[in-house]
Amino acid sequence: MSVYYFNGAQILAPLTITSNEPIYEVDTVSLRKQRASQGVQRWELAFNTVGTAETQVDIFLGAVVDNQEVQSMVMPQLPQVDAKTTLSQPTLNMFGTTVAGATTTLLVGTSAAGFIPKGTFFKFSNHDKIYVTTNDVQMGSTNQFMNFYPELRVQNTNTNTVRFGSGAVLSYYRDINNQTGITFSDGVLSNAGTISIIEAL
């Protein structure tokens, strides 16, 4: 299993990954349910970190400085996804054009070899949104369709690439609603509290 970091400190389990996609529901006069979405979605993460003497300054500054600025980190993958992924390189080429609103793209089969399991977080090279695969993809000699969630925000062409692993960099804001401060014990950071971050769209 891969290890993921926040401001140099290792992220601990449990890690909460939430998909925030507002959906509105009403009951009609005939008691049918109608649901509508505004077609927007963002990822929200919450986790704790390991406090060490080497990382305590960065964790402290990350909690109190530049909270209005967009920051970035590698998007953590689910452990089961990490265990199944055998992709030979983190960047794949696209075939043709994928229009905004699509949930499927075509990957050039010869751009890499290996297995991409469903549930893999990734991003396209021309914008910062993080997506997740919804089907298994076996790369090899032929082009492969990859389904994903949410809908594509920006049109892609074959000049763009798809980035996995360390290339799936999440741009985020630190959630300022749940800042709890930092606890030091005997001069060593013992608890940074729960850290919550919100994808920057």
Q: Give the DSSP per-residue string, 107-171.
A: E-GGG--EEE-TT-EEEETTS--EEEE-S-EEESSS-EEEEEES--SS-B-TTSEEE-GGG-EEE
CA angle 125, 118, 148 (to 5 degrees): 45
pLDDT digits (tens, 9 = 90+) for 15-43: 999 999 988 889 989 999 998 888 899 99
The sign of the dihedral angle between the CA atoms of 193, 48, 167, 120 is negative
Q: Are residues 10 and 57 in the same domain?
A: yes
pLDDT digits (tens, 9 = 90+) for 155-193: 999 899 999 999 999 999 988 775 556 666 665 555 667
Prediction pTM value = 0.86
Parent domain of 67: 1-75+169-201
What is the identity of the amino acid at 77? Q
Q: Are residues 28 and 54 in the same domain?
A: yes
Q: Are residues 98 and 70 in the same domain?
A: no
Q: Are residues 5 and 34 in the same domain?
A: yes
Q: Are residues 98 and 162 in the same domain?
A: yes
pLDDT digits (tens, 9 = 90+) for 86-134: 998 999 999 999 999 999 999 999 988 999 999 999 999 999 999 999 9
Q: Are residues 133 and 173 in the same domain?
A: no
User: How many domains does the chain divide into?
Assistant: 2
Q: Are residues 128 and 191 in the same domain?
A: no
